[in-house]
Structure 1
């Protein structure tokens, strides 16, 4: 038993960004608490042999934490071993601590996986109508929750879910690996996440969340295995992490078409820094579900390899919502299909009831200090005739293809803004600066 050796006293201060993109201290502070009360999953019959089903042990341990309500909360210690379990719910004022060599592994028996209601900002499951399967590790209406450890692993064993998706036999939307809903003061750190059935880490309707020093892994052909998706959430800090998945590494979202517009909860004040990874899809993504609005986003010090699109802001007709005050800086990418892509023709619709007159607005975007090698197309920025993208400003960008290969520079339409020191030279709409950008560079 190593419970007495766990003495974490680190305090993390969230960072966000102002409209100018400068990092400032957020109002929220998330403490990495030291829990004086500590229990082990072994105390509740947990067996780490990779075969025994530990659902009862997890539920009983968390029930104990919830109902005894120790002052300062309780740490649940997972020793080395492989702990097979069905999905389970966390509770407030707890730390889930995975020791070195500890693995919490999802059962592949999906028939009895619990169903929960669709998110109100989506109106239905993201993949299928109706409800959705509960995330493997789930938290709703919680506060002061920490998932951390010594680089232990949470393994979703997503292969069985990916096969159902490919064979079109899914009845409901696949489960996320980790989801916090309507929660605050959350820390996720020093854990490896792998083989998520669907999105990996999904804070939705949350505030004050730190995700740092995590590794997120899924095969490049695994469907829709986004890394981290802050969704209608605020004051989020994502930093110092490695992500290699089958979809976007980080994607900021805020609801889907008429449901997101009606729910009306934006994502804002989010910082993404020092993230490295690879994917066939986007490195840093905003959207495509942005109907509640997205603003005050800062992404900096990003390194991308073998990436589909380095920086991707994506929305669609019917989404509505305003995307504004976006700053992306200090990005390095190698072997990318597109360096920068901002478009309003991405993503599907939940049903046929969306409003085709609900046009998205994208404005006040700053992209600077971006360098790329082996980039097939430097940039694609295509606004809408009735809602052109406004104040898109590029500076110190150098995106080059491979010598002798087919290479496309820039393609633009229905956009205005400006550029300084961009190679290859951007499209004419961004060369003709309106004057609104120069003071922002």
Structure 2
């Protein structure tokens, strides 16, 4: 197939203009995103690819990415994926490129696990997240990149994850499962107007990245698919996630920053993160921090969430031995319809990579504000359980109303200080003191 004709290019320019409008002009509060104007356009079909759902296109994707990297066109280049089903193994992106999925385009992962290369573990994890040693490379991957744009006309990136889920359930995995998209140590990244479907493991994983925008994406996986987190920003800064629908088998969005002694040594926090206008459903958390937070998580604003059929609406989780900090977190304007817990802030969640962690290295959880939350069909209001020698402080609840068909289970608290105002059912005693409320408003 030849590169796009002039009329097709005009149509594609219109599509990019539509993306620009949706990112920048459609709402008063939206992610700041400067879209690149690419200097060259290349179709995977022109490099030996075939969108017939049978031909393996790994080499074709590698050829066109290598061509983009060698060409060094002014403004970079756009890799165009036409309508069709493009079966492929994992492939790398390069800097100054756009991966554009046309309407009806599907990038589909091969289920032949022998076609998935192994890569080194992340230094902030010290090993694969599931198993010691290396891990499988993500389907779409990049390391040390700049100016990368993944978008389209709501084309689909399909991980065909069932073979991986079956191995996990049978405990026959040799190494940690792959993500659908992982970008490492990269800057100026935009992901928008794409469907992510049936990832083997976490779906979208920016790690050690900065200036990341994820907007208008759809992330889907069956409710019983293991560990298919939707979006997990990890040791990353200046991240904005908005206007997306997520329905998976694990946390919908979870902020992370490394695992125990490895995350502490790497020492890169997740910071400056904004999350807004997210809708979805899943058996675990709608919005989560952790449990891997050893590099620290701070300065997070989350607002306008709508979740249904959740395990937990809002879940902030860490553990003894994690170290790190979780501080200056604000979550507001949340609607829940169905959840086991409305809110959990817990210091006893998550395992450890090995026996080398120090259980006496305790996390700090400070200044977490949850406000303007309304929920129905809630079974348990919430649990806020700190660590005896590291009390969770300035935990502040305001206008939190949680209802159930019968009486909602009461709040359960331990090793926590803070305040509560206008909370239903009545908050635990640890959050009702006058000094606690004054600390929340100071």
TM-score bucket of the superposed structures, by smaller chain: over 0.9
More helix by share: 2
From 6, 12, 30, the counterpart of 1:6: 12
Count of residue pairs brought into register by the alignment: 428
Residue 112 of structure 1 deviates from its aligned partner by 3.4
Q: Corresponding residue for 2:429?
A: 428
Q: Corresponding residue for 2:87?
A: 84
CA contact (8 A) 2:47 2:64 kept: yes
From 324, 327, 337, the counterpart of 1:324: 327
CA distance in 2, matches of 1:189, 1:263: 30
From 31, 34, 39, the counterpart of 1:31: 34
Q: Structure 2-normalised TM-score?
A: 0.94
**2:54 match: secondary structure:** strand
CA distance in 2, matches of 1:4, 1:40: 15
Q: Corresponding residue for 1:400?
A: 403
**1:185 match: secondary structure:** strand
CA contact (8 A) 2:385 2:413 kept: yes
CA deviations 1:33-66 (Å, max 9, x no partner) are 1223111111112111101111111011000000
CA distance in 2, matches of 1:388, 1:244: 34
From 26, 39, 44, the counterpart of 1:41: 44
Q: Corresponding residue for 1:295?
A: 298
CA distance in 2, matches of 1:273, 1:106: 30
From 206, 211, 219, the counterpart of 1:208: 211
Q: Corresponding residue for 2:192?
A: 189
CA distance in 1, matches of 2:238, 2:393: 25
Q: Give 1:17-166 correspondences, 5 Å limit.
A: 30-166=33-169
**1:57 match: secondary structure:** helix
CA contact (8 A) 1:250 1:283 kept: yes
**2:292 match: secondary structure:** coil
CA deviations 1:95-115 (Å, max 9, x no partner) are 000000000000000023100
Q: Corresponding residue for 1:16?
A: none
Q: Corresponding residue for 1:308?
A: 311
Give yes or no for the alignment of 1:411 onto 2:417.
no
CA distance in 2, matches of 1:434, 1:58: 61
**2:53 match: secondary structure:** strand
Q: Corresponding residue for 1:175?
A: 178
CA distance in 2, matches of 1:152, 1:433: 54
**2:113 match: secondary structure:** coil
Q: Corresponding residue for 1:242?
A: 245
CA distance in 1, matches of 2:63, 2:252: 34
Give yes or no for the alignment of 1:228 onto 2:231.
yes
From 281, 285, 289, the counterpart of 2:288: 285
CA distance in 2, matches of 1:214, 1:24: 17
Distance 1:438 1:25, change over 3 A: farther
CA distance in 1, matches of 2:440, 2:349: 31
From 351, 355, 360, the counterpart of 1:352: 355
Residue 24 of structure 1 deviates from its aligned partner by 9.5
**2:165 match: secondary structure:** helix
Give yes or no for the alignment of 1:276 onto 2:282.
no
Residue 437 of structure 1 deviates from its aligned partner by 4.5
Tell which has more relative contact order, 1 or 2 (C-alpha 8 A, sep 6+): 1
CA contact (8 A) 2:396 2:440 kept: no
Residue 438 of structure 1 deviates from its aligned partner by 6.0
CA contact (8 A) 1:132 1:173 kept: yes
Unaligned runs of 5+ in 2: none
Residue 30 of structure 1 deviates from its aligned partner by 3.7
Unaligned runs of 5+ in 1: 14-22
CA distance in 1, matches of 2:206, 2:239: 9
CA deviations 1:371-410 (Å, max 9, x no partner) are 000000011001111001000000011001113xx63110
